[in-house]
Amino acid sequence: MDRDDYYPPGTPEREIAIRRRVHQLAEFYRHVFVYGIVIGLLWCANAYLIYSGTVPTKWWFWWAIWPTLGWGIGLITHGITVLPVWSLFSQDWEERKVRELLERERK
């Protein structure tokens, strides 16, 4: 199903673009939240197993590092595609900066 089906006819393209951007940001923030919860639980379980004496205490028994690193790489990739890291000096940024400076000058 196309996302444009959710917008009433006549919705400006700019509004649609902004709504899509906000939706992408919300998805990223949910991803960060779930990552924090799941990885935190994995580390707690890993620490419990090691400190309860059920497994020997060798450094390689800290298995929670692998999902943390693997999922963390995915999370960083998701963040790079969503957050305005790449568009720091884009046309949109230049336009906003020009408007900001013009407004300052008017005051």
CA angle centred on 29, ends 78 and 18, rounded to 5°? 85
Q: What is the pLDDT along the chain (107 residues), one digit of tens a residue?
A: 445 457 778 878 888 888 888 898 999 999 999 999 999 999 999 988 888 876 666 666 788 999 999 999 999 999 988 887 666 666 677 778 888 888 888 87
pLDDT at 1: 40
Residue 63, domain extent:
3-106
pLDDT at 91: 66
CA angle centred on 5, ends 4 and 6, rounded to 5°? 90
pTM: 0.69
Dist CA 86 CA 96 (whole Å): 16
Q: How many domains does the chain have?
A: 1
pLDDT at 45: 92
